Structure 1
Amino acid sequence: MKYARALAFAALTGITAVTMGCAVSRGQETVGSYVDDATITTQVKAKFVGDKTVDATAISVETLNGTVQLSGFAKSSAEKDRAVSIARGVNGVKGVHDSIVVRP
């Protein structure tokens, strides 16, 4: 059940990323970079869903040129640290900017 939920979330996110592929315009990034960033974002979100300690719905993930921006709220510093660790562990991630706020 847990695996199915993560797979469904990843598929939905992937479909969203593909349909938003037309959003690349002059001055942003190349189509290849955009697709790579969308893939990284999808992988990070899917790993959040599969992890028991991270609330995937409370943390937003955005990627630009391989750098992941995490924002939102965590219930503890352990959850925040785990989210950053997961993001850093995804293939293709060049850096992680942590803007997660801990709120009990």
Structure 2
Amino acid sequence: MKFTKSIATGLFVASLFAVAGCASTPTKEGTGEYVDDSVLTTKVKASIFNEPTLKSTEINVETFKGVVQLSGFVANPESVAKAGDIARGVKGVKSVKNDIRIK
């Protein structure tokens, strides 16, 4: 009986450590946040790809905790603004850091 209790206690403690290992910090995403950010990145990339005036190969998209960062080089200022507007329009995006530069 005592052996069973110690195994149960050990499993409980191990599960607590496992859950704590998946928790997020200000500089590290949790597992669920990573998946959510991957989905957001894909949605933003698809939206930019579907915009005929933008060259999606020239725009990089990264997401961290719902904040989308756009980078790359485009031909004109209108493309910079358009990419930012498209990213802001994707459901789930908290904010956009538009670091796209003009060639």
* Aligned match of 2:93: 93
| RMSD (Å), alpha carbons | 1.7
Amino acid across the alignment from 1:78: E
Q: What displacement does 1:54 show? A: 1.1
Change (3 A) 1:71 1:25: farther
Task: Determine what percentage of the aligned residue pairs are the same residue.
Answer: 44
TM-score scaled by length of structure 2 = 0.73
TM-score scaled by length of structure 1 = 0.72
Q: How does 1:12-51 map to 2 (within 5 A)?
A: 28-51=28-51
Unmatched tracts of structure 1, length 5 or more:
1-23
Give the ranges of 4+ consecutive aligned residues of structure 1 lying more than 2 Å apart after TM superposition: 24-27
Q: What displacement does 1:46 show? A: 0.5
Amino acid across the alignment from 1:77: P
Q: What displacement does 1:26 show? A: 7.6
Unmatched tracts of structure 2, length 5 or more:
1-21
